[in-house]
Amino acid sequence: MQSTNPAQDYAFQTVRHVEAGIGASARLGELAARYAPGARSALLVTDAGVRKAGLFEPALRALREGGLKVQVFDGVQADPPDHVALFACTQAREVGAGLVIGFGGGSSMDVAKIVACLAHPDNRLELPQLYGVESVRIQRLPLLQVPTTAGTGSEVTRVAIVTTGATTKSGIVNAGLLADAVLLDAALTRGLPPAVTAATGIDAMVHAIEAYTSARRKNPLSDMLAREALRLLGGSLLRAVEQGEDLRAREDMLRGAMLAGMAFDNAPVAAVHALAYPLGGIHHLPHGLSNALVLPHVLRFNEPAAAELYAQLAGVLLPQAAPGAAGARQMIDHMAGLCASSGLPTRLRDCGVEPADLALLAREAMGQQRLLQNNPRPLDEADALAIYEAAF
Ligand SMILES: NC(=O)c1ccc[n+]([C@@H]2O[C@H](COP(=O)([O-])OP(=O)(O)OC[C@H]3O[C@@H](n4cnc5c(N)ncnc54)[C@H](O)[C@@H]3O)[C@@H](O)[C@H]2O)c1
Ligand SMILES: [Fe+2]
């Protein structure tokens, strides 16, 4: 099966060090010593939920045993506002942090990336200068990432998303944000509540699907990663939701989410994310849920342009997938079924969205041209409105 042109030129980049294991967060001290040998203090960036779950205690002990003074910033909020990231930077500067650790979901890891840049002693940049794609050359503090959700893949991406103003999100895409090292410890995700497991897991699956069908920069390595990610995530999502203590399922999800992150960091995501962002910005729905709500409808919209690739993914997700158009339809139905069986709401009307909101959502989605340009089928404001109406 040939999913890309074999003669195609491509570039692929990812983090240089991944370490995984049950209980591996207790080895964070060794990674700190390796990547920030001269550092005396560190800022661990997290949120109140992760603190309450007691997840970073072993990591903290390991870091302190190595002689580091560790300050914990637990003020991250979901869809982090820019002022929260700036406040975390101030704390990092105050303690003279020589190392930044992102410990949590995508929100905490994204803030950690920004702190590592802005709190570098030689940094002369302000946050808005970072927005955009490779807008500046970034110098940053050593950065370690420890995900506690199996979702965003932020641990291996060069992307950080912050909420700017009341409803808009701004993205930083810069290779300087790639972490020095990533630590995967599935034990940290064991207590993730079913609804968060479902939403973040669907987010990761969307990363794999959109990377595999991306109109730009899709390549043999991102394809390989997206397929393996989808195999792991599709095979274990419901088990992770229903039996949260199942560490095998949790490991599959965590590895799958990371592989999907590596894929979409090189073959970027598209219309599902473009239409999901306004739901987060305006209605404050969790990122993964926003994706799940529009996913089946965007897949149906894309079907005429992406049928062959969807059929290939059906072969990854289903034991007996049909080839061609029938396989594409199976894949779309399977994803719609998975969203529903994971227990997530499936309609916008059940998530506080009113009919009168749809036009604004469609207008806002058009602001996400960075993502829409990757969609396998061109999508305009009228198409976006029709998709939101179908999802309503
Ligand atoms: N940088 C990227 O590449 C990228 C990609 C996709 C999304 N994002 C961003 O990531 C954010 C979403 O991240 P997310 O979906 O991981 O959610 P999140 O980080 O906002 O966390 C969601 C909730 O789960 C809780 N939580 C996290 N881990 C837990 C655990 N192990 N046990 C119990 N509770 C736990 C947190 O306390 C929080 O309340 C959004 O801001 C989105 O824009 C970034
Ligand atoms: Fe996402």
Is the pLDDT at 35 greater than 90, yes or no? yes
Mutation probe of ligand 1 site: the residue of 45, 55, 161 with most atoms within 8 A of C-beta: 161
15: confidence class by pLDDT, cuts 50, 70, 90: very high
Question: Residue 141 Cα, ligand 2 centroid: separation in angstroms?
Answer: 25
CA distance 35 to 356: 51
Can you give the pLDDT at residue 290?
A: 98
Is the pLDDT at 323 greater than 70, yes or no? yes
Question: Residue 78 Cα, ligand 1 centroid: separation in angstroms?
Answer: 7
Is the pLDDT at 145 greater than 80, yes or no? yes
Beta bridge partners of 159: 173
Question: Residue 329 Cα, ligand 1 centroid: separation in angstroms?
Answer: 31
Residue nearest atom 7 in ligand 1 by C-alpha distance: 152
Can you give the pLDDT at residue 7?
A: 58
More confidently predicted of 370 and 92: 92
Q: What is the DSSP string of 20-54?
A: E-TTGGGGHHHHHHHH-TT-SEEEEEEEHHHHHTT
Percentage, residues of the chain above pLDDT 70: 98
The overall average pLDDT reported for the chain is: 95
Can you give the pLDDT at residue 186?
A: 98
Amino acid sitting at position 107 = S
| pLDDT, mean of residues 13-38 | 96
> Which ligand 1 atom sits closest to the C-alpha of 261?
3
- Supply 288's token pair: 């993964």
Is the pLDDT at 3 greater than 60, yes or no? no
β-bridge pairing 168-173 and 159-164: antiparallel
| pLDDT, mean of residues 243-255 | 98
> Which ligand 1 atom sits closest to the C-alpha of 153?
3
Within 10 A of 326 (CB to CB), how many other CB atoms are there? 13
Tell me the pLDDT tens digit for each residue of 273-300.
Answer: 999 999 998 899 999 999 999 999 999 9
Can you give the pLDDT at residue 2?
A: 44
Comparing C-alpha atoms, which of 250, 241, 288 is closest to residue 269?
A: 288
Is the pLDDT at 8 greater than 70, yes or no? yes
CA distance 178 to 116: 11
Tell me the pLDDT tens digit for each residue of 49-95.
Answer: 999 999 999 999 999 999 999 999 999 999 899 999 999 999 999 99
pTM value?
0.96
> Which ligand 1 atom sits closest to the C-alpha of 190?
31
Question: Residue 276 Cα, ligand 2 centroid: separation in angstroms?
Answer: 9
Can you give the pLDDT at residue 79?
A: 87
The H or E element containing residue 132 is strand 132-133
Can you give the pLDDT at residue 89?
A: 97
Residue nearest atom 33 in ligand 1 by C-alpha distance: 192
| pLDDT, mean of residues 44-52 | 97
Can you give the pLDDT at residue 5?
A: 54
167: confidence class by pLDDT, cuts 50, 70, 90: confident
173: confidence class by pLDDT, cuts 50, 70, 90: very high
| pLDDT, mean of residues 226-242 | 98
Comparing C-alpha atoms, which of 75, 83, 86, 119 is closest to residue 100?
A: 119
168: confidence class by pLDDT, cuts 50, 70, 90: confident
Domains along the chain? 18-188 (3.40.50.1970), 194-391 (1.20.1090.10)
Sequence-distant (6+) residues with CB within 8 A of 257 are 147, 149, 150, 151, 152, 153, 200, 201, 204, 207, 229, 233
| pLDDT, mean of residues 154-169 | 90
CA distance 328 to 318: 11
1: confidence class by pLDDT, cuts 50, 70, 90: very low
Residue nearest atom 27 in ligand 1 by C-alpha distance: 105
